[in-house]
Amino acid sequence: MSHDAIRRQVVGRGIPLPGTDIDTDRIIPARFLKTVTFEGLEEHVFEDDRLQVPDHPFNHGLYRGATVLLVGQNFGCGSSREHAPEALRRWGIRGIVGESFGEIFFGNCTALGMPCLAVAAEDLEWLMKSTAQHPDREILVDVENREVRVAERIIPAMIPEDHRNQLLTGTWNATVVLLEAGEEIERVAKSLPYVTGY
Amino acid sequence: MAETLLDKVWRAHTVRMLPSGQTQLFISLHLIHEVTSPQAFQMIREANLKVRFPERTFATIDHIVPTASQLRPFGDVLAEEMTVHLVRSCKEFGIHFFDLDSGWQGIVHVIGPELGLTQPGITIACGDSHTSTHGALGALAFGIGTSQVRDVLATQCLALAKPKIRQIRVEGRLTRGVYAKDVILAIIQRLGVKGGAGYAYEYAGPVVEAMSMEERLTICNMSIEGGARLGYVNPDATTFNYLRGRPFAPQGEAFDRAVACWKSMRTESGASFDDVVILDGGSIQPVVTWGINPGQSVEVNERIPDPADAPETERTAWAEALAFMSFEPGQRIGGTRIDVAFIGSCTNARLSDLRAAAEVARGRKVAKGVRALVVPGSQAVAKAAEAEGLHEIFEKAGFAWRNAGCSLCLGMNEDKLKGREVCASSSNRNFKGRQGSPTGRTLLMSPAMVAAAAIAGEVTDVRKVLR
């Protein structure tokens, strides 16, 4: 595996985005999916929310350059569009810390080498407040040790072992790993009843 | 030990265990559409890879197709470009494409089952979260992102962790005017929009067993709205009868052999589940959403709840939803004025859905000022509906009868809400902005309830019309 692909930790400033059940339609509205590439999606990240809420964190110059996104429960639920994590990544986000995540979104983030870690509600509340008060403060998202570190505080975090493994070994591009099975794929295919005409 | 369908299908399709702890799972059927595949094809080209099993991928266009006129080139240049891309990629890699002139084009989750591509005991993937729909036939069907579309194209496999299973038993019998849509909305109301995270939902019990295949498709379709990536129903005689004679189903003696195989895929009695939830089907009423996620719903004769009564973790979300929808706590959902009525989507645009809506629309008129449209889920659905004159019932009542596509479910084509319009919709998501207007408002309900709302001009109990 390429050494560059290893994701032990993400370090950077945070951007707090309160709210629960923020779906992928809100992260990137469907009209921006009318494209055959992912280019330029960062310009439209949260576009409708940003227009309706002038105070939206993604409108603040204060948070420009942030790399760690802080979110609430069930972030990224809904549509499977990888345009959502791509829009965030292209905006500059490299890791997400939240209470919980939509399952497909979570997998899509890992597939882009962007770790999502879950923390307890009260820790998240503190993280959001502390980041709003000290936007310049660095947050360390530690995939290896399953924790988030800010100033002196160490917050325990959760990431499923399989995703953690993929990030730590740089094997989150699953195509490369799946190809290694070689002819074993054809062997399994030939054992399946519908492949052999039942 | 007694096994579940999930256990059996998972085991049969396991290629190997991966160092990460995930399973390398062989994917029987890959469905693609124009929105989430172009970047994946590009990655395949850039990495100099081949499509490993081109005969196991099938394509159509659904999200961006206009539903009024489908003459090429499309008026929308971006939609045209996406279509051209998909056609080109399919040609380049030898993938079967159900084009507009094929007679089989339609929403990917409608055409899979109707073509007989979707079968019991297989694994399915599609770059679309509503892939859970196909579980209705006893398949394991995963909604995936574009990187995973690339994985499947290149290897016909996915790297996945095996989910837990929650069996959801719906006991008793549904009452008249209550549909599959109400059942799944009631399930999501009870378990929440994140309750299914990490789970596959196995739908069971007398209500589900009595359901037609199309009703089961509606239930499984919205598993993802409950947070569950997949949902399934054990295959039975309803499944086998549905599949018999379909173009891609096994034919002749092979069909009988297939049925024997499919029967062996069922969850065995005595199998254990990680969780079991039981609902009384007889007490389910027509459901309408009042908020901005599909779990925020009430029975049609109930009042919109007060955030003050919400569980503490939901209080802010309820208040945000009420503010967006311009609803007051305690207001009755019945009587809410609507501007648009939409019957369509991968949830509810099959023949039986259109029949249920037509039963309500027959001999009645859409209320003044309401824009109403019926969008069949596929060309085959449209043809069957037209053969029995459903289009005439709708058109006489004042509904527009359109061509197949995703339409107003998601605002990627010409069908969109305008401004703060309120839409009674048979689709699956009431997210902010979902129907194409950032401030548009969606009320999810069954197709019959949408038809009743179209005629009354406001949310109304369809049972009053059916009586």
Question: A155-182 pLDDT, tens per residue?
Answer: 999 999 999 999 999 999 999 999 999 9
B325 shares a domain with B438: yes
Bridge partners (DSSP) of residue A77 are A23
B6 domain-assigned: no
| Cβ contact, residue pair A23, B429, below 8 Å | yes
- Beta-ladder partners of B453: none
- Specify the residue for token string 């009431």: B430
DSSP for A15-51, please give it: EEE--S--BHHHHS-GGGG-SSS-TTGGGGTTHHHHH
Q: What is the mean pLDDT of chain B?
A: 98
Test the A interface: residue of B27, B41, B88, B146 with most A CBs within 10 Å: B146
Q: Please tell me if residue A111 touches chain B, with a CB cutoff of 8 Å.
A: yes
Q: Which residues of B fall within a CB distance of 8 Å from A118?
A: none
User: Chain B interface, mutation test: which of A26, A171, A178, most B Cβ atoms within 10 Å?
Assistant: A178
Torsion of CA A187, A169, A77, B412, to 10 degrees: -70
| pLDDT for residue A98 is more than 60 | yes
Domain that holds residue B269: 164-283
Q: How many CB atoms lie within 10 A of CB B393?
A: 24
Where a domain ends, among B233, B252, B283?
B283
B221 in a structural domain: yes
Q: Would residue B328 count as lying in a domain? A: yes
Q: Tell me which residue in A162, A181, A198 faces B258 most closely, judged by beta carbons.
A: A198
The minimum CA-CA distance between B310 and chain A, rounded to whole Å, is 14
Last residue of a domain, one of B116, B140, B160: B160
Size of interface A-B (CB pairs under 8 A): 213
pLDDT at residue number A22? 98
- Show the tokens assigned to A116: 């999502």
Q: How far apart are CA B305 and CA B299, in angstroms?
A: 11
Does pLDDT of A1 surpass 70?
no
Complex prediction ipTM: 0.98
Q: How many domains does chain B have?
A: 3
| B464 min Cα distance to partner chain A (Å) | 33
CB contact under 8 A, B119 and A185: no
What span, in angstroms and rounded, lies between the C-alpha atoms of A119 and B233? Answer: 34
Tell if the CB–CB gap between A37 and B122 is shorter than 8 Å: no
Q: Please check whether residues B39 and B84 belong to one and the same domain.
A: yes
Last residue within a domain, chosen from B261, B283, B305:
B283
Looking at the partner chain, which of A31, A104, A179 has a beta carbon nearest the beta carbon of B145?
A104
Q: Please tell me whether residue B467 adopts helix, strand or coil conformation.
A: coil
A32 close to B (CB below 8 A): no
User: CA–CA separation, B366 vs B27, rounded Å?
Assistant: 45
pLDDT at A3 over 80: no
Reduce the secondary structure of B70-110 to three states and give it as a string. CCCCCCCHHHHHHHHHHHHHHHHHCCEEECCCCCCCECHHH
A44, pLDDT greater than 80: yes
**One domain, residues B56 and B97:** yes
For residue B317, the chain A residue with the least C-alpha distance is A20
Q: For residues A15 and A131, is the Cβ–Cβ distance under 8 A?
A: yes
Structure tokens that stand for B306 in this block: 């007060």
Residues B127 and B237 in one domain: no
Task: Check which CATH number belongs to the domain holding B49 and give it.
Answer: 3.30.499.10
Q: Which pLDDT does position B313 carry in this prediction?
A: 87
Q: Report whether the peptide linkage leading into residue B286 is cis, meaning its omega lies within 30 degrees of zero.
A: no
Report whether A11 contacts A140 (CB < 8 A).
Answer: yes
Interatomic CA distance for residues B256 and B250, integer angstroms: 8
Please give the pLDDT value at position A97. Answer: 98
What token pair was written down for B251?
A: 């034919």
Q: Domain holding B256: CATH number?
A: 3.40.1060.10
Q: Is A170 in CB contact (< 8 Å) with chain B?
A: no
Torsion angle in degrees (nearest 10) through CA of B408, B412, B418, B420? 80
CA distance B437 to chain A (A): 9
Across the interface, whether the CB atoms of B411 and A162 are under 8 A apart is answered no
Q: Which residue would you say has higher pLDDT here, A4 or B267? A: B267
CA distance B153 to B51: 5
User: CA-to-CA distance for A5 and A173, rounded, in angstroms?
Assistant: 9
Q: Which domains does chain A have, with CATH numbers?
A: 3-171 (3.20.19.10)
Does residue B1 belong to any structural domain of this protein?
no
Does A193 contact chain B (CB < 8 Å)? yes
> Is B210 among the domain residues?
yes
Gap between the Cα atoms of A91 and A43, Å rounded: 7
- The closest alpha carbon to A115, from A75, A79, A170, A167, belongs to A167
The C-alpha atoms of residue B409 and residue A115 are separated, in whole angstroms, by 31
Claim to verify: residue B404 and residue B460 sit in the same structural domain: yes
Beta carbons of A55 and A1 less than 8 angstroms apart? no
Given a cut of 80, is residue A15 above it in pLDDT? yes
- Asked whether the beta carbons of residue A177 and residue B18 sit closer than 8 angstroms, the reply is yes
Task: Please give the single-letter amino acid code of residue A58.
Answer: F
**Does residue B170 fall inside a structural domain?**
yes
If asked whether residues B137 and B17 sit together in one domain, one would say yes
Amino acid B1: pLDDT: 87
Whether residue B243 contacts residue B137, with contact meaning beta carbons closer than 8 Å, is answered with yes
Q: Which positions ≥6 away from B58 have C-beta within 8 Å?
A: B29, B30, B31, B32, B95, B96, B97, B98, B112, B115, B117
Average pLDDT over residues A13-22: 97
Contact A197/B at CB under 8 A: yes
A186: exposed, middle or buried (Cβ count in 10 Å: 0-12, 13-18, 19+): middle
Q: Indicate whether B149 and B171 sit together in one domain.
A: no
The whole-number pLDDT of residue B410 equals: 96
Query: In this structure, is residue B5 part of a structural domain?
Result: no
Distance from CA of B254 to the nearest CA of A (A): 6
The pLDDT confidence band at residue A2, using thresholds 50, 70 and 90, is low
Q: CA-to-CA distance for B149 and B59, rounded, in angstroms? A: 12
Series of mean pLDDT values for 10-residue runs along chain B (467 residues): 97 97 98 97 98 98 96 96 98 98 98 98 98 98 98 98 98 98 98 97 98 98 98 98 98 97 97 98 98 98 97 93 98 98 98 98 98 98 98 98 98 97 98 97 98 98 93
| Measured distance CA(B255)–CA(B200) in Å, rounded | 28
CA distance B460 to chain A (A): 28
What distance in Å separates the CA atoms of residue B381 and residue B256, rounded to the nearest whole number?
A: 27
Pair B192, B293: CB distance under 8 Å: no
Contact (CB<8Å) A178/B432: no
CA–CA dist B58, B110 (Å, integer): 13
* Chain Cα centroid distance, residue B248: 21
Residues B143 and B100: their CA atoms lie apart, in Å, by: 24
| A64-78 pLDDT tens trace | 999 999 999 999 999
Amino acid at residue number B261? C
| Alpha-carbon span B36 to B224, nearest angstrom | 17
Quick check: helix, strand or coil at residue B299?
Answer: strand
Q: Are residues B177 and B293 in the same domain?
A: no
The rounded distance, in Å, linking the Cα atoms of B189 and A152 is 41
d(CA B136, CA B13) in angstroms, rounded, equals 19
CA–CA separation, B355 vs B388, rounded Å? 9
B315 lies in a domain? Answer: yes
DSSP symbol at B263: H
| Cβ–Cβ under 8 Å, residues B400 and B421 | no
The answer on B335 and B261 residing in a single domain is no
**What are the structure tokens assigned to B131, written together?**
């892939």
